[in-house]
Structure formats: structure tokens, C-alpha cells
Structure 1
Amino acid sequence: MGVMLYSHGNGTRVWGKEYKTIIVRDDEVAEYLKQGWHKHPDEVKAEQEPVKRTRKNKAESDESDD
């Protein structure tokens, strides 16, 4: 079975923040933890602000109303 690990970076959005994620085999977890990966997103120290989703205003959208 695999274990998902988390690190700083962009890729997967979890609870409003983005992390690099990787799935590794159970026997590889210790090796990746030594390389700076974490078992839980809360263990990754906050280096960035939460990602705020924005929407385009209707006037900014690429579609026309014709």
C-alpha cells in the first residue's frame, strides 16, 4: 500500500494551500521523510499564504453574450 507525502511547492491543493505530493511505498517512507517530505500537510511549515480562488467578472470573461 502507498503513503501520500507532502512538501513545499505547487501541485495539489489541500485546505486552501498548495503542496507537492508524492505517493511512496511503505518501505520508502523513512527515506523520503529524511529528504524533507512530511506525512501530513500540517507538518509542512507555512511558507506561503493560502491560495485564494478568484473568478473573472462577466465583463472579463472570454465569452460573448451575443
Structure 2
Amino acid sequence: MKIAIYKPGGSVMVWGVMAQLKVIDPSELSKYVKDGWLDHPSKLLSSEVGDAKPRKGRKLKAESDADKD
């Protein structure tokens, strides 16, 4: 049986994250993990948390009205 492995930053959308996807034999897994591949798509989400830039939110109405004065 083959298994899928994942690496952030590719052309395939996996759980809302762009990733590289490769199908390999289980005997090759340790070699790929050493090269930065992930054995489960949920690990893509945790690797993206540190890479994401914080977004600027919209100003509240009171703050935007105060800027007009």
C-alpha cells in the first residue's frame, strides 16, 4: 500500500493550504521526512501558523470617525 506525503508550498490545495503532494512506499517515509516532507496533512496547518503574517483588521466605527476631526 502506498502513502501520501506533503510539503508546504506547491500547486495542490490540501485542507486549504497549497502543498506539494507525493505518493511513496512506506519504506521510504523516513528518508522523505528527513528532507522536510510531512506524513499527515494536519501538519501542514501547524507549519503555516508561524509563516503567516498577521492581518490588519478594519478600524472600528468610533476610531474612523475620530480620524475625521
Same fold (TM over 0.5): yes
Counterparts of 1:5 and 1:13, CA distance in 2: 13
Unaligned runs of 5+ residues in structure 1 are 50-66
Deviation of 1:41 (Å): 1.7
Q: Which structure shows the higher helix fraction?
A: 2
Question: Normalized against structure 2, the TM-score is what?
Answer: 0.61
The aligned counterpart of 2:18 is: 18
Unaligned runs of 5+ residues in structure 2 are 54-69
Secondary structure of 1:33's counterpart equals: helix
Question: Normalized against structure 1, the TM-score is what?
Answer: 0.63
- Decide whether aligned partners of structure 1 residues 23 and 48 sit closer, same or farther in structure 2, where only a CA change above 3 A counts: farther
Identical-pair percentage: 27
